[in-house]
Amino acid sequence: MSRTRHRLAALVGAAALVLLPAAPVHADGIRPQQWGLEALNTDHAWRTTQGEGVTVAVLDTGVDDQHPDLEGNVLPGKDFIGFGAGRGDRSWARHGTAMAGIIAAHGRGPGDRDGVMGIAPKARVLPVRVILEGTDPAREKARSSRGTALAQGIRWAADQGADVINLSLGDDSESAHPEATEDAAVQYALGKGSVVVASAGNGGEKGDRISYPAAYPGVIAVTAVDRFGTHASFSTQRWYATVSAPGVDIVIPDPDRKYYEGWGTSAAAAFVSGAVALVRAAHPDLSPAQVKKLLADTARDRPQGGRDDARGNGMVDPAAAIDAAKALRPRDPRRVTEGYTKKYFGPGPQVPEPEHASVGWLAPLAGGVGALVLVGAVVLWRADQDDLV
């Protein structure tokens, strides 16, 4: 199997939400449960901006642009898969809609009740479909024919002028390796001025294996913490960790008009993408390298010694970053590492070991479940009050 087909297999294999039994709550109770907004000092940041004029590309399983919490905030996007589940199917756009909601939902839920509020509610979402949900019957076909979708999607998003590219996905299987086309696409996007954010991986209880694209140079890699600021046990600990963000008990919207509570580094990356949207709205001329260093320098609750592999430089703080950016002078985005001298900017992909012939197509499904996934989710509320479960 080629490396590109292998990579897509790992990405595709982890695009499912696990639904667990739980008592639903009324939609009016959703907003108070969004502890992540308070943890990130969002109210303080909103005194300056709510993300106006910023575009965040969400490279994922698709985004439901008709969801009441997102309607009006989603731009026309692009589908690099071209087949699979469509609107109305249960295996369509669940993960991508959840990430878009964390980033840019405006809180007008079903029935005009309070719904999910994103961290940058006035930012625009550019949906780019580069992967299928794990429950999509067409994923086998995608595995063999769409191995370059992620790299293509990153380049396309950069060409559309995306200010931020959210990659709540990755390959952290046992056979994960860097892809030259993906690495080049990331560097291309950074050179065009797009800030690239990725989830660090959900392999914390499975060996902390390196996850790509989080490990590519210049990427802001995000680990997950709970509401107490404690490192989530599932969150991968690696040298590339930049900052941490809420990733446990996160309220998310779904195309079925229910709300769920999920957890994973996918959610943490989405929070940071929203935080970057706020910074870029306030300071649009900063380079990706400046934004990355800014988030690291202004992070709260720093680990002992200033940084560790579990939480990076600490909890992202968009309000502090916005304030600190006032003293910066914009730099050329094409100079990706300009102004960033610490070794934890990332050494980049290492030379991969020879691929063993025994690695089959199903191996990533066993090892890469921490890639594109909210590890679990529970239903909180849905619009059809007569059919609650």
Burial 52-91 (b: 16+ CB within 10 A, else e): eebbbbbbbbbbbbebbbbeebbeebeebbeebbeeeeeb
Q: How far apart are CA 77 and CA 128, in angstroms?
A: 6
Catalytic one of 60, 64, 171, 308 = 60
Q: Please answer whether residues 197 and 167 qualify as being in contact, where contact means their C-beta atoms are separated by less than 8 angstroms.
A: yes
Q: How many CB atoms lie under 10 A from the CB of residue 304?
A: 6
CA 34, chain centre distance (Å): 17
Integer distance in angstroms from the first to the last C-alpha of the chain? 43
Active-site residue flag, 266: yes
Active-site residue flag, 95: yes
DSSP class of residue 356 equals P
Catalytic one of 6, 67, 95, 231 = 95
Q: How far apart are CA 139 and CA 364, in angstroms?
A: 13
**217 has which bridge partners?**
none
Q: How far apart are CA 351 and CA 240, in angstroms?
A: 16
Q: Is 138 helix (H, G, I), strand (E, B) or coil?
A: coil
Q: Is 158 helix (H, G, I), strand (E, B) or coil?
A: helix
Per DSSP, the residues of 219-257 read -EEEEEE-TTSPBPTTS---TTEEEEEE-SSEEEE-TTS
Both structure tokens of 299: 């992070």
Catalytic one of 91, 175, 199, 266 = 266
Active-site residue flag, 283: no
Both structure tokens of 229: 């600021």
Q: Is 162 helix (H, G, I), strand (E, B) or coil?
A: coil
DSSP class of residue 385 equals G
Q: Sign (positive/negative) of CA torsion 132, 137, 142, 143?
A: positive
Helices (H) and strands (E) in the chain, counts: 11, 13
Catalytic residue IDs: 60, 95, 266
